[in-house]
A and B are shown apart, each in its own frame.
Chain A
Amino acid sequence: MSTETVDLGAIPAAWTRRHLLSLESLSAEEITIILDAAVQFKEVARDSRNKVPALVGHTVANLFFENSTRTRTSFSLAARRLSADTVDFSGAGSSLSKGETFIDTAKNIEAMGVDIIVVRHRTPGTPHLLAQNIECSVVNAGDGPHEHPTQALLDILTIREHRGDLRGLTVALVGDIQHSRTARSNIWGLQKLGAHVVLCGPATLVSRQWEELGVEVCHDFDEVLPRCDVVNLLRIQFERQVTRPFPSVREYALLYAMNKERLAKAKDDILILAPGPINRGVEVTPEVADGPHSVILEQVTNGVAVRMAVLWLLAGVRDGR
């Protein structure tokens, strides 16, 4: 594939950011710019033979201080399909284990001639600290339970493709809201684009305080489900929990798993999303995950397109395009 099918003009004037750190800080217009650009890149994203020369001469470094398979791979593919050079860096086995700070590690990688650093870290705010301390553009690929902006953007793009417009939709985020960076980014993004957001899960993982952000909090999945246009099933983040917030996995699944019986109570055209990795049988049963309402694999494809869009926009600001 060549550039003929993708109109790579100047980046929109309204996009001026050097970093993508959160969706809380983006306007609806900025979110829409990313989504529109992602649509432009979808065809390129879909096929491994495709490439555009948008980021020729740029280097994108993946700094993953926390385990990841799909996000890291998605960012790598996005960069390569834009013709950027890529370098992968893993926190494990790095100089961090020799006592070097993460800022020094990032500065060293920057000094090797990197333009954009994609960072994942277990601690909220770490990409923000990097952005304050280095000259590279920084993309937050997940900072602990804080935000995961590209995940929310791909979720939203997937919803938008199926429904055209998010205004007036009821979108439920179900599960471990307290420990979910996906939820936090989705809440900002969905609300800014006009959706009604419902947070659903046990009271130990979804406090009433969330209502202060303008969302609805519900602990009864069966009550809220019939009103939902979209359900995004979030993983229980056992690894982040200090104390066990519910009595057993079996009880959790009983109250909150998306299964065949619940699907029968939902709207006919309900969309089922899951950011993955999914725990089959806990948040969602296999027949639902693999069924006709599920758009889980579309999310994955859209992930590459969204990340291409983000890298293209950030590089554009750096280049003064």
Chain B
Amino acid sequence: MPSILIRDGRVIDPSQNLDRVTNLLIEDGRIAGYDVSPNGQDQIIDARDKIVSPGLIDMHVHLREPGREEDETIATGTAAALAGGFTSIACIPNTEPPIDTQGTVEFVQHQAARADNCHVFVVACVSKNREGKELAEIGQLVRAGAVGFSDDGAPVYDPELMRRAFEYCSMFDKPVLNHAEVRELTEGGVMHEGLVSMILGLAGMPSAAEDVMTGRDIVLAEATGGKLHIMHISTAGSVEIVRRAKRRGVRVTTEVCPHHFTLTDECLRTFDSNFKMSPPLRAQSDVEACIAGLVDGTIDVICTDHAPHAREKKMQELDRAPFGIVGLETALSLVITNLIEPGHLDWPAALAKLTINPARILGIDKGTLRVGADADVTIIDPAARWTVDPRRFKSKSANTPFGGWGLHGRATTVIVDGRVKYTA
């Protein structure tokens, strides 16, 4: 395997509290050393004025395969991941069929290996067939390689099943990732319930629907000692509930998507279904609470909830169009543009939420540039300026609300296991 020397980059590795300009050597697919001079390496990458980060990790990606290949495949989804700077992603099991057996986990792994883009880790179902009735065969799923459990797309609704999921997953030290939503409060809803939904006459999804389920899950995690990860947090109430739970030592982590710290429900005034997602875009006060949660560490991870939908599905009336947007190819730039440049987060803090934090939550040996680690590296040009053109996405779908936006910074080189997999 060819050796690579990344020269003169600002290496930021939150896992080692490292932030300095240096040379980084990759040999045999692993991080081989720092401060190494050019000395016959097979490839030298000039990283002057660039940031060299552990390969980014997105722990919340919908790859759609098997079952909905018209929206995305594992090959296109992982290509999109690379284009966004991600070297590892975790895929969510709401496929058709859902990923609830050893066979389906192995199918995803096989397709990911065949695509040979980035690493794909599997989050498997909590319940058989995602029906929320019986636990899936979690032990076998862990043996097959599942790194966490979720019925996302839907919450684990039955509190008894959720309790058992925490208890059972604790045997394997695996997290339960839950979509926090009380469905009775959101039935028919297409957007955040508030002044804008009231004016537009669109059925609303109140913040309380998320807050109540977040509270329930924290109570159950506390009672069982289970590892809870609240997916795509979006409300000020939930952020505060998680903050308090963390203070008293509950094993709870959470994540936020770029659209939830960037956009508000005001965007729905366009009636564009690319602003329809679940949880919905919230009010400005919720956006500010999410940013505050990122700043004080309440929110551990930035993820995309990459949810591709074919154009014909999104080009419908707002109540018929499916929830969700693609996110892999815009996430890093939204973090840079909306969190780092305004000064909410510095580079190490932001990169921690995109590298070592998701790795720790999922228990995967990624997200670090320590010597001997797998050589997953993302080189970022923080000064790049670009305009989002969904037609150029690697993803099979283009359902983004950010088309035409001018963004700052992007990944220029992505290295997976010591091989250059993407160059902008």
Q: Which residues of A contact B (CB under 8 A)?
A: 24, 101-103, 121-126, 128-129, 143-147, 178-179, 181, 184, 207, 209-210, 212-213, 242
Residues B188 and A242 in contact, CB atoms below 8 Å apart: yes
> Are A213 and B199 in touch, CB under 8 angstroms?
yes
Q: Decide if A125 touches B318 in the complex (CB within 8 Å).
A: yes
By the criterion CB–CB under 8 Å, are A129 and B317 in contact? yes
Q: Distance in Å from the Cβ of B272 to the closest Cβ of chain A?
A: 8
B316 within 8 A of A: yes
> Quick one: CB contact mask for B249-293 with A, threshold 8 Å, 1 for yes?
000000000000000000000110000000000000000000000
Instruction: Point out the residues of chain B lying under 8 angstroms from A122, CB to CB.
Output: 317, 319
* Other contacts beyond A181-B201, A242-B187: 6, CB < 8 A: A24-B199, A123-B318, A124-B271, A129-B271, A145-B201, A210-B198
Cα–Cα, bound, A143→B320 (Å): 14
Check A123–B200 contact: CB distance below 8 A.
Answer: no
Judge whether A101 and B315 touch: CB under 8 Å. yes
Question: Given A124-B200, A147-B201, are A209 and B271 neighbors across the interface (CB < 8 Å)?
Answer: no
User: Contacts A146-B201, A146-B202 hold; do A126 and B194 have CB atoms under 8 A apart?
Assistant: no
Interface centre among A101, A124, A129, A212 (most CB of B within 10 A): A124
A144 vs B200: C-alpha distance when bound (angstroms): 9
A residues in contact with B202, CB < 8 Å: 124-125, 144-146
- Residues in B lying within 8 Å of A, measured CB to CB: 187-188, 194-195, 198-203, 270-271, 312, 315-320
Is the beta-carbon distance between A121 and B317 smaller than 8 angstroms? yes
- Find chain A residues with CB under 8 A from B188 CB: 242
The 6 closest A-B pairs by CB, nearest first: A125-B271, A145-B201, A146-B201, A123-B317, A124-B201, A128-B271
Task: Name the contact of A184 in the complex, choosing from B194, B199, B312 (C-beta under 8 A).
Answer: B199
A126, A129, A146, A210, most chain B CB atoms within 10 A = A129
| Chain A nearest Cβ from B123, distance in angstroms | 32
| A209 lies within 8 A of B200 (CB) | no
Q: How near does chain B come to A214, taking the closest CB pair, in angstroms? A: 12
Q: How far is the CB of A97 from chain B (nearest CB, A)?
A: 14
Instruction: Determine the distance from Cα of A210 to Cα of B196 in the docked complex, in whole angstroms.
Output: 10
**Chain B residue at minimal CB-CB distance from A129:** B271
- Is the beta-carbon distance between A209 and B195 smaller than 8 angstroms? yes
Chain A residues whose C-beta falls within 8 Å of the C-beta of B198 in the assembled complex: 178, 207, 209-210
Contacts of A124 in B (CB 8 A): 200-202, 271, 318
From known contacts A123-B318, A126-B317, A129-B317, infer whether A242 and B203 are also in contact, taking CB-CB under 8 Å. yes
- Name the distance in Å between B345's Cβ and chain A's nearest Cβ: 32
A294 CA / B320 CA spacing, docked (Å): 40
Of residues B200, B270, B318, which shows the largest number of chain A Cβ atoms within 10 Å of its Cβ?
Answer: B200
With both chains docked as a complex, state the minimum distance between the C-beta of A106 and any C-beta of chain B, in angstroms: 12
CA distance A179 to B204 in the complex (A): 12
Alpha-carbon distance A242/B319, docked complex (angstroms) = 14
CA distance in complex: A209, B195 (Å): 7
Residue in chain A with minimal CB distance to B312: A101
In the complex, which residues of chain B have a beta carbon less than 8 angstroms from the beta carbon of A125? 200, 202, 271, 317-318
Can you list 30 A-B contacts with CB-CB less than 8 angstroms, sorted by A residue number?
Answer: A24-B199, A101-B312, A101-B315, A101-B316, A102-B317, A103-B315, A121-B317, A122-B319, A123-B317, A123-B320, A124-B202, A124-B318, A125-B318, A126-B271, A128-B270, A129-B317, A143-B201, A144-B201, A144-B202, A146-B200, A146-B202, A147-B201, A178-B198, A181-B201, A184-B199, A207-B198, A209-B195, A209-B198, A213-B199, A242-B187
